Chains A and B, each alone.
Chain A
Amino acid sequence: MSAHDPAELAAARPDFAAIAAWIPKGASVLDLGCGDGSLLRFLRDTRDVRGYGVEISDTKVVACIKNGVNVIQDDLDTGLSGFESLSFDYVILSQTLQAIRHTEALVQEILRVGKAGIVSFPNFGYWRNRIKVLRGNMPVSKALPYQWYDTPNVHLCTLHDFEDFCAIQKVHILDRRVMNGDNEVKMLPNLFGSTAVYRFKRNA
């Protein structure tokens, strides 16, 4: 299997499959902080989307081009002024929310540019994280693979935090999928879920 085999990618990144399940075939998608373009490529191959990524890193921009996905080099913290209002069906922020400096402004921008938004992030309320903090250390794990001194993550949150934030920001949550690895978590998600994926739109 190639590194870009959709099945293999879905296994490696469970949030990909969750995101793809919400996206109708042929939709237009903007992926913020798109990394090497794997998600866009996955969505193109499985959902036939018309997609663009935004990425700041030089090496990741090259990786996107190699992956054959459209990528616009830009800094998310300076906003999405290059994109017209409601120009995308979905604006996705996959595993990037926690590294954004101006979170409120970006979420508003997502809902300006997109008809709906999708966000995935590592749940800081996951029980293993809580135990590490209780034991006196910042959590380091597969989902949070950084030391406190070299992490790009400046705004980690729990499911509760994010949902409170959405209420204040007048963001209407349409769907939520909480996962631990490949498995969906239904019971006590803020405790047992390591990754959360939300689908949302602006409050009518």
Chain B
Amino acid sequence: MNNSIGIVSAQRAHFDTPLVFRSGAVLPRYELVYETYGRLNSDSSNAILVCHALSGNHHVAGYYADTPKNVGWWDNMIGPGKPVDTDKFFVIGVNNLGGCHGSTGPSSIDPDTGKPYGAGFPVVTVEDWVESQARLADLLGIKQFAAVLGGSLGGMQAMQWSLSFPERVRHVLVIAAAPHLTAENIAFNDVARNAILTDPDFHGGDFYQYGLVPTRGLRLARMLGHITYLSDDAMADKFGRSLRAGKLGYTYDIEFEIESYLRYQGDKFAAYFDANTYLLMTKSLDYFDPARDFDGNLDKAFAAARADFMVMSFTTDWRFAPERSREIVRALLHNGLNVSYAEISSAHGHDSFLMQDEHYHEVMRTYLDKIWSEYPL
């Protein structure tokens, strides 16, 4: 890999202080898996937290010694000399609570019962994640992050950081996110959840004990999600109306290339992702709405924030459209906070935030270099 951070390994943190969820549920103990890149400086002022989106995890950059093809999901953004420069910053990726990549989640064994939590795992909100991430920061000796950043659901966590812990984050980078989901967005999530919930192998979330996986539901959920992450143009460019066999077969098998692609993506995803985690992640997306506690007034919600903000959106992102990012910017302006906003021209829809794009990366690099230069790190 070009400029890769190289071989990385995951670490595990154990927490014995009970976590009280926003729902009122309590998790007496839990574990978080995380990775770190770069070196924490002597006053712990160069730390950056990278929050992941729906299907992401703690493996943000680099690769594993035993599986060199398993490259971190944001490796193009994070590494030595990359926009999030690990020669300068100490970067942390963490698998969110409720995830299925090592942190305590529905598929983990509940030590009290010796069985997977399954349906019993609490519904986790963005606020709960931020609380758990703050505990990890405590453990690592980080009082204040130089920046918290993320795309999509990760952007929501970054925003929440500025509200839950205003003094613990100097800069927040909100990428391809929204102040809350629209009804249309919730509708997509609900169809995805229904695909899982109605899969006969789901067993109310306790499929583990039957040795089953609701694969059909998961892959349908992923196929639907995937459509919404791309743009009409990107799909037309990549697949058009191309037929695999070059001619119509008059069957219901895979014929169009787009069908092949979506089913492949669905199968791949269903093979490794946990159905309960998928439900939980989509629910936390639906619930996120910092204005809710302020009669729907986002201006008031951001009154608590102290951080400087960099907000970014992508022109063809219709799942988290630029207009949604501008709502965030308006609320930040109202509160007189430092904010910059870049609307990136990109053909790749919501997925753009994961793509290698020269201008997008230049904006990120410039903003992060500024953070680096302005503070005695």
Q: How far is the CA of A68 from the CA of B372 in the complex (A)?
A: 12
Is B334's CB under 8 angstroms from A72's CB? no
Main SS at interface, chain B? helix
Is B334's CB under 8 angstroms from A62's CB? no
- Chain B nearest CB from A82 CB (Å) reads 5
A76 lies within 8 A of chain B by Cβ: no
Is B370's CB under 8 angstroms from A66's CB? yes
Is A72's CB under 8 angstroms from B362's CB? no
What are the interface flags for B167-194 relative to A under an 8 Å C-beta threshold, 1 for contact and 0 otherwise?
0000000000000000000000000000
- Chain A nearest CB from B104 CB (Å) reads 38
Q: How far is the CA of A65 from the CA of B366 in the complex (A)?
A: 7
Is A72's CB under 8 angstroms from B329's CB? yes
Is A64's CB under 8 angstroms from B333's CB? no
- Inter-chain residue pair count (beta carbon < 8 A): 52
Is A62's CB under 8 angstroms from B338's CB? no
Q: How far is the CA of A28 from the CA of B335 in the complex (A)?
A: 12
> If the complex has contacts A58-B359, A68-B374, are A84 and B338 also in contact, measured as CB distance less than 8 A?
no
Q: Which of A63-91 contact B (CB under 8 A)?
A: 64-66, 68, 70-74, 82-84, 87
Q: Which residues of B contact A101 (CB under 8 A)?
A: none
B342 lies within 8 A of chain A by Cβ: yes
Is B374's CB under 8 angstroms from A71's CB? no
Is A83's CB under 8 angstroms from B333's CB? yes
Q: Which residues of A contact B329 (CB under 8 A)?
A: 72, 82
Is A70's CB under 8 angstroms from B363's CB? no
B367 lies within 8 A of chain A by Cβ: yes
Is A72's CB under 8 angstroms from B341's CB? yes
Is A84's CB under 8 angstroms from B341's CB? no
Q: Which of B139-163 contact A (CB under 8 A)?
A: none
Query: Looking at the complex, which one of B333, B342, B359, B366 makes contact with A66 (CB distance below 8 Å)?
Result: B366
Is A50's CB under 8 angstroms from B336's CB? yes
What are the interface flags for B191-212 relative to A under an 8 Å C-beta threshold, 1 for contact and 0 otherwise?
0000000000000000000000
Q: Which residues of A contact B334 (CB under 8 A)?
A: 84, 87
Query: Looking at the complex, which one of B330, B339, B343, B362 makes contact with A70 (CB distance below 8 Å)?
Result: B339
Q: Which of B212-262 contact A (CB under 8 A)?
A: none
A198 lies within 8 A of chain B by Cβ: no
Is B330's CB under 8 angstroms from A68's CB? no
Binding site for B on A (CB under 8 A): 28, 50, 52, 58, 61-62, 64-66, 68, 70-74, 82-84, 87
User: What are 16 A-B contacts defined by CB distance under 8 Å?
Assistant: A52-B333, A58-B345, A62-B362, A62-B366, A64-B340, A65-B310, A66-B369, A68-B370, A70-B338, A71-B341, A72-B329, A72-B340, A73-B341, A74-B343, A82-B330, A84-B330
Closest 6 CB pairs of A and B: A65-B366, A72-B341, A73-B343, A71-B340, A73-B342, A62-B366
